[in-house]
Amino acid sequence: MTNKGHSEKYELFKDVMEHRLRQDDIRQVLNQLSLEDRDFFVETLTGTFDKLNAVLEVTHQVSDILTLDILFTRLVELTTEALRADRGTIFLNDPETDELFSRVAMGELTQEIRFPNHLGIAGSVFTSGESIIIDDAYADSRFNPEVDKKTGYRTRNIITAPIRGKDGIAVGVVQLLNKQEKNFSEHDLSLLEAMAAQAASALINAHLFEQVTRARKEETQLLEVTKAISKEIHLKPLINRIMSTTSMLLEADRSTLFLNDEKTNELWSMVAQGMETKEIRFPNHLGIAGSVFTSGSTVNIPDAYSDSRFNPDVDKKTGYRTNTILCMPVKNKSGKIIGVVQSLNKKGGPFTVVDEKRLHAFSAQASIAIENATLFEEVLTMKNYNESMLESMANGVVTFNEDGIAEKCNSSAERILEIREMDILAKKADALFMHENEWIASAIYKTVSGNKTELVMDAELGTQGKIKSVNLSTKPLVNSKGENLGVLLVLEDISSEKRLKGTLARYMTKEVADQLMDNEAMLGGQLKEATVFFSDIRSFTTLSESLGAQETVSMLNDYFTDMVEILFERGGILDKYIGDAIMAVFGTPFATDRDADHAVLSAIDMMRSLRDFNERRLTEGHDPIDIGIGLNTAPVVVGNIGSLKRMDYTVIGDGVNLAARLEGANKMYGSHILLSEFTVAALKDDYLLREADLIQVKGKTEPVAIYEVLDHAKEEQHPLLREVVRTFAHALEVYRNREFESARMLFKECLALLPGDKMSAMYIDRCDHFISVPPADDWDGVWVMKSK
């Protein structure tokens, strides 16, 4: 038989294969062919069997594999071996994210590669559904040479085929690189398509199995951790549990939960994973976490150092390297953002859309637990605070339930009644108050039955054969529904010795008390200029929780003893105690031209005395305390306010409120003593003062200049303090002239001269903010205080 053309040879081969000839028939056909045609027939037949064997091998190797990572590896091995390619990759489509993904072993970890399913050569094949052969990769515009640059690998040629399901829809792509001998052929493409078609079902099943397994695992994990966190009612361990759970769910290296402090407008965390610090605080608009909190949008950053919001200084200080970040707002059930959860460095690559969904589901559950724990902390704090207040009260307090049985009492009640607590509690009112004191039991039962307050003024109380004069009140205790819970009994000892000799002496110097006692106390007041003094212990609630009620009262007694003595020495009048706070007045009832100086000197002496007080506490193994002081000089209403039976000599007015605001403002400025411009104007002597700010307090329209007193600082510890004051004054002037870059440099100089100066650091933050977000044209440098 003569030699045939190429197409005729294929037609002959096709006829032979389709007719399923027997061995004798094939031998007869071969005998009739020329030598060249016979070689072509044998070569084509061999290739067909190779293709059949490759397809069968795919079926054999992958039919029972349900682990996607193993399946990826096995199919790459089979296809590269069958087509004699150097390397290959299997990409599957993720319909949730419209991304093609593959997994590559990186040591002990498996890294997932993801990119939009329309990009690159793989994306082109996936979207078009057409296989392609590229003989020169660098000549194709779809090829990304950056991958070769990073890996040092040289891609010559590429063959890519879609992976289709039974419905013909593409579910992925198989891509091989660098044919070993030459370029890829049409035969290679046909073989690759056949192998891809055979592997499609296994890939689809494995992908589906992985999704179902992951969903079940995540559902189980979420259920377990939700149950676990819902049982935790203490905030700090709850935050720790939420952070560790977040890291586990996302396979992240570390996580941090920041909650918003509405009082200070700061994001804070009690503890951050991997950090030694006990608490982190920063303004709730700064950084990536601040951006997420203010915008309410999730941020997923694949490269932290390429994002302008990321602050690399933290990494420099800790030696930690932040690569990827996922940050999401935490909202309560009403949709209000209460904080931010942030995870760093997902194992194996960037955080995915699936990670975002996981974190969103978990944070929704966590927010409920956070609100419950926060509420519990508030209730517990209030309980401790109330118990501390109860113990510190001079009045006796006893509570009775709705059956008239005593449930609680303070030490003042033991003292006034001269009955031990153990003999008061669990006793019925009529058994506790008998004979001459039966009127007390009667008042209690009247309040129980009538649900109204009973007042008995200047009555006689019999105790151990003695008679005391007391004021008594019984007030009904009710719940939120108005239901009766019992009675609150308050006893005030107003015995003549206490009234005539003790009362005034506890509020002012003996000389002032003697002058006041010469005049009959009458209700009413007058407008006088005075300097109002407020002081307060910092973080008292936290301190009282750690000390306990008895130790807190003991500490307060020691502290008040030292501080009130200083006030008296300078001629001040103790107006009242407000929990751990002291309110005093200088200039009333008898004014001098140095009342403002006396008030400032008292504040300076109190800060110096506090150092000695803290040294004693440290010697006794206790933590030191810190205080803030606010002073304001203004016209105030002074007089006896109350009733004829019970009155207080006190002062009221806006001037009092401003002094209280200044005491609280010390927290923001990092100062200890703040004066208003009105007190500064009234001073006769010179002091080391630093203007702190120009503020507008809540409820007022006119700004007030405020100043920090620095005379209490030890000169040997702060030798450059006067230089700080001069530089700070210059910085403040430049700042108010809107020269924020220059002001920022000057405030940094202050911070270098006085390390840890919170006021300078605060102004640096303000400058940074105004550099990025310039203030309005009518900005006058006034800082509006939004809180009281």
CB atoms within 10 A of CB 763: 26
- With respect to residue 588, please indicate whether it lies within any of the assigned structural domains: yes
Residues 494 and 510 in one domain: no
Tokens 């003024």 identify what position?
A: 457
Residues 511 and 616 in one domain: yes
Q: Are strands 581-586 and 524-537 parallel, antiparallel or unpaired?
A: antiparallel
Regions of the chain with pLDDT less than 70: 1-68, 104-110, 201-202, 206, 210-212, 214-215, 217-242, 270-278, 362, 364-369, 371-387, 389-390, 496-525, 641-649, 699, 786-788
User: In Å, how far from its chain's centre is CA 539?
Assistant: 19
| 3-state SS track over 131-188 | CEEECCHHHCCCCCCHHHHHHCCCCCCEEEEEEECCCCCEEEEEEEEEECCCCCCHHH
For 272, phi then psi, to 5°, come to: -115, 135
Continuous segment of H or E residues that includes residue 146 = helix 146-151
Q: Dump the DSSP string for 94-126.
A: ETTTTEEEEEEEETTEEEEEEEETTSHHHHHHH
Q: How far is residue 90's CA from residue 68's CA, in Å, rounded to a whole number?
A: 11
| 3-state SS track over 494-542 | CCHHHHHHHCHHHCCCHHHHHHHHCCCCCEEEEEEEEEEEEEEECCHHH
First-to-last CA distance in the chain? 109
For 459, phi then psi, to 5°, come to: -100, 165
Q: How far is residue 594's CA from residue 167's CA, in Å, rounded to a whole number?
A: 96
Number of structural domains the chain divides into: 4
pLDDT at 184: 87
- With respect to residue 63, please indicate whether it lies within any of the assigned structural domains: no
- With respect to residue 201, please indicate whether it lies within any of the assigned structural domains: no
Residues 497 and 602 in one domain: no
Residue 296: DSSP 8-state: -
Distances (CA, A) of 5 to 2, 30, 33, 44, 754: 10, 16, 13, 15, 95
CB atoms within 10 A of CB 608: 15
The whole domain housing 635 covers 505-712
- Count of CA atoms in the C-beta half-sphere (13 A) of 218: 18
701 is written with which tokens? 């329209």
Q: What is the CA radius of gyration of the chain?
A: 41
Q: Are strands 132-134 and 109-116 parallel, antiparallel or unpaired?
A: unpaired
Closest CA to 264 of 239, 281, 279: 281
What residues form DSSP beta bridges with 533? 584, 631
Model confidence pLDDT, tens digit, residues 535-576: 999 888 888 888 888 888 888 888 988 999 999 889 898 888
Q: How far is residue 407's CA from residue 405's CA, in Å, rounded to a whole number?
A: 6
Helices and strands (H, E) in the chain, number of each type: 25, 26
Residues 340 and 357 in one domain: yes
Q: How far is residue 332's CA from residue 373's CA, in Å, rounded to a whole number?
A: 13
pLDDT at 738: 93
240: Cβ contacts below 8 Å, ≥ 6 apart: 270, 271
202 is written with which tokens? 């296994």
Residues 651 and 606 in one domain: yes
User: Of 385, 409, 428, which one is at a domain's C-terminal end?
Assistant: 385
Could you give the 3-state DSSP secondary structure of residue 142? coil
Q: Is the dihedral of CA 187, 193, 194, 195 positive or negative?
A: positive
- With respect to residue 323, please indicate whether it lies within any of the assigned structural domains: yes
Residues 513 and 485 in one domain: no
Residue 421 in contact with residue 410, Cβ under 8 Å? no
User: Of 334, 358, 385, which one is at a domain's C-terminal end?
Assistant: 385
Q: How far is residue 64's CA from residue 686's CA, in Å, rounded to a whole number?
A: 90
- With respect to residue 191, please indicate whether it lies within any of the assigned structural domains: no
- With respect to residue 442, please indicate whether it lies within any of the assigned structural domains: yes
> Which amino acid, one-letter code, is at 53?
N
User: In Å, how far from its chain's centre is CA 280?
Assistant: 8
CATH no. for residue 591? 3.30.70.1230
Residues 374 and 476 in one domain: no
**Cβ neighbourhood burial of 729 (10 Å; 0-12, 13-18, 19+):** middle
User: Of 501, 535, 570, which one is at a domain's C-terminal end?
Assistant: 501
* 589 prior amide bond cis, ω within 30: yes
548: Cβ contacts below 8 Å, ≥ 6 apart: none
Q: Dump the DSSP string for 644-681.
A: SSSEEEEEESHHHHHHHHHHHHHHHHT-SEEEEHHHHH
Residues 679 and 694 in one domain: yes
337 is written with which tokens? 């953002």
Residue 280 in contact with residue 290, Cβ under 8 Å? no
Distances (CA, A) of 564 to 269, 607, 627: 37, 13, 14
Could you give the 3-state DSSP secondary structure of residue 67? coil
Residues 237 and 354 in one domain: yes
Residue 305: DSSP 8-state: G
Residue 402 in contact with residue 484, Cβ under 8 Å? yes
Residue 126 in contact with residue 172, Cβ under 8 Å? yes
Closest CA to 337 of 279, 289, 376, 281: 289
754: Cβ contacts below 8 Å, ≥ 6 apart: 718, 720, 721, 724, 760
CATH no. for residue 446? 3.30.450.20
Q: What angle do CA 407, 412, 417 make, to 5 degrees?
A: 75
> Which amino acid, one-letter code, is at 608?
R
Entry pTM: 0.40
- With respect to residue 700, please indicate whether it lies within any of the assigned structural domains: yes
Q: Are strands 454-463 and 524-537 parallel, antiparallel or unpaired?
A: unpaired
Residue 299 in contact with residue 289, Cβ under 8 Å? no
Residue 362 in contact with residue 105, Cβ under 8 Å? no
327 backbone φψ class: left, alpha, beta (φ>0; ψ -120 to 50): beta
Residues 638 and 563 in one domain: yes
609 is written with which tokens? 């005395």
What residues form DSSP beta bridges with 163? 172
Residues 614 and 656 in one domain: yes
- With respect to residue 768, please indicate whether it lies within any of the assigned structural domains: no
Residues 461 and 411 in one domain: yes
